Chains A and B, each alone.
Chain A
Amino acid sequence: MGTPGVAVTGLARAAFSAFRVSIRLRVISPWAYLNWLVFPVLFAAVGLYVLSSPGAASSHVVYGVLGGGLIGYWSVAYLEGGNGIQEERWNGTLEQIFATPTPLWVILLGKICGGLLFGLLAFLPTAAFAYVGFHAVLPALDGGRFVISLGVLTLSFFCIALTLTPLFALWRWAFSMLNGFELGVYVLCGFMFPVAVLAPWAQGVAGFLAPTWAVRALYASTLAEGPHNFATWWLATIGLSLAYLAGAYFLYALVERRARMSGQLALA
């Protein structure tokens, strides 16, 4: 019987292996490049052109600088992170994953971290495009708060990806729905314009989404004007993210039951 330390080291090693494989698969996947490189730049281009329209406030441009990156980061998180189990099903490796002694969540942890790392890359081409094409920069960047807000946003994306993974595997229509609603997420999370411009009922719905608060903090860390309630926004993000994780716990139990007891999960 191993000690807890050895067990943790073993799990960490398994998670790192999943992370490494996930990164290697993404390096050779054209879809990954579409999501972190092409899509963000295309959205940044539209955003920057519209937000720099004649008569628009100069502070709006910050939404174009970061908006494309946020869209790319989200796309990678929900598409590649959320399809963690689906990918195994498509590749015919689902049974092997379930037959290994390593818990499923440890493997998914590594895979999702790999996806998030790729997603973070989306900020590089969009920031470069904004700077070169529009001479746009972040006007009043508060480095410390920006980094913390990005970290909190990453936590929320991680929790959402971890929650979506069993959801997409159990109910395949859920992916179609979220895929069709993708631009709705951009609206409700305020990726390219503040949620405050939406109708009050839409702002109410947006309040239940963890990234909304982290994105608000992220933009506030780049602007001098407006409210700066960082602690409240970070706590709201963390609280909602943990609530999603609690829901994910039950979904994973259902996935395990489907996969091991009924054998239905591998059915494509």
Chain B
Amino acid sequence: MKRLALEAGVFGRSTYLQYVALFQWANPQGYVAYKVLLPVTQILFFVELGVYATGRQNALYFALGNALQLTANAGIFGVIATVANERQYGTLPILLASPANRLITFLSRAVVNVIDGIATVVIGLAIVVVIYGLNLQHANLLLLALCVVVISLTTAGLGLMFGSIGLVMRDAIIIANIVYYVLLIICGINFPVSRLPGAVQVLAYALPLTRGVQAARDAAAGASLGQVGGLLAGELLVGLMWALGGYLLFRLLENWARRGGLQEAF
């Protein structure tokens, strides 16, 4: 019991420090730039692109997809940056030398970013409601909220996987950029997954967001939990697999980084 309390304390402190680290950019300009301007412009760009290609009647398809994909901003960029920043600021060797439970340290990387991801999607959805008049009168709002929480968790799972690479790679944030935009292409955000080549469709369904965004679209149209339960369960399973893979990779690369002194290379 005492051990559990100790581990909970480590988890709480680590999560709090992640919160502090996440808000290193916390000034009004930084907030406006990355939490308001970026979501607004991403939604505007893809909606206008979609409207130009397919007509005004499809604006909501693009708006909703991109609002939901914004969770990857925190889940991918945020989580990968936590390890990348440890390296940049020279605290990675200290972290790796600490006796703290690795699983707890690892999972605490994601918690604040999951919450941040949910907040980002809420901002995105608010933009869609205000600018594009998304009508949520018939939506299953509780289910939509559940979908948002689930995709925030699963994208953070993918972020943990690639964040581990930051243990041995100097510019891990480059990976974050690539993963973020790949999700935008292949997860059914701006066009149906069925239009992709077969092999890429397999990859799409092995990634977070694909099922979660579909479930959220259905929830926004009024679907019930029974109708999208399978999609959400699949989404959670995919996120869990990525997080588990990330943890195993973290342990593997931790030892590799120690042996090669890579954790201090910058």
Interface set of A (CB-CB < 8 Å, partner B): 30-31, 34, 38-39, 42-43, 45-47, 49-53, 55-56, 60, 63, 173, 176-177, 179-184, 186-187, 192-194, 197-198
Contact = CB atoms under 8 A, between A and B. Distances in A.
B34 interface: yes
Interface string B52-71: 11110000000000000000
Interface of B: 25, 27, 29-30, 32-34, 36-38, 40-42, 44-46, 48-55, 171, 174, 177-178, 181-182, 184-185, 190-191, 195
Main secondary structure of the interface of B (DSSP, over half): helix
17 contacts: A30-B171, A38-B177, A38-B178, A39-B181, A42-B185, A46-B49, A49-B195, A50-B53, A50-B190, A53-B54, A60-B52, A173-B30, A177-B32, A179-B33, A180-B32, A182-B41, A193-B49
A30 B170 CA distance: 10
A190 to B, nearest CB: 10
B37 A177 contact: yes
Contacts of B50: 50
Report, nearest first, the 7 A-B pairs whose CB atoms are least far apart.
Answer: A180-B33, A180-B37, A173-B29, A184-B41, A183-B41, A193-B52, A176-B33
B44 A183 contact: yes
Contact of A184 (B45, B49, B52): B45
Given A53-B53, A55-B54, A56-B53, A180 B38 contact: yes
Contacts of B30: 173, 176
Contact of B53 (A38, A60, A176, A177): A60
A183 B45 contact: yes
Contact of A46 (B55, B178, B184): B184
B130 to A, nearest CB: 14
B178 A34 contact: yes
Contacts of A180: 32-34, 36-38, 41
A63 B48 CA distance: 13
Contacts of A193: 48-49, 52-53
A42 B41 contact: no
Given A30-B174, A55-B54, A184-B37, A42 B181 contact: yes
Contacts of A46: 46, 49, 181, 184-185, 190
B191 A53 contact: yes
Contacts of B29: 173, 176-177
Contacts of A34: 174, 177-178
B34 A50 contact: no
Contacts of B32: 177, 180
Which interface residue of A42, A56, A183 has the most chain B CB atoms within 10 A?
Answer: A183
A142 B52 CA distance: 24
A197 B52 contact: yes
Contact of A50 (B44, B49, B171, B174): B49
Contact of B37 (A31, A55, A181): A181
Nearest to B39: A180
A150 to B, nearest CB: 22
A51 B44 contact: no
Nearest to B25: A176
A193 B47 CA distance: 11
A108 B237 CA distance: 51
A180 B195 CA distance: 30
A183 B42 CA distance: 6
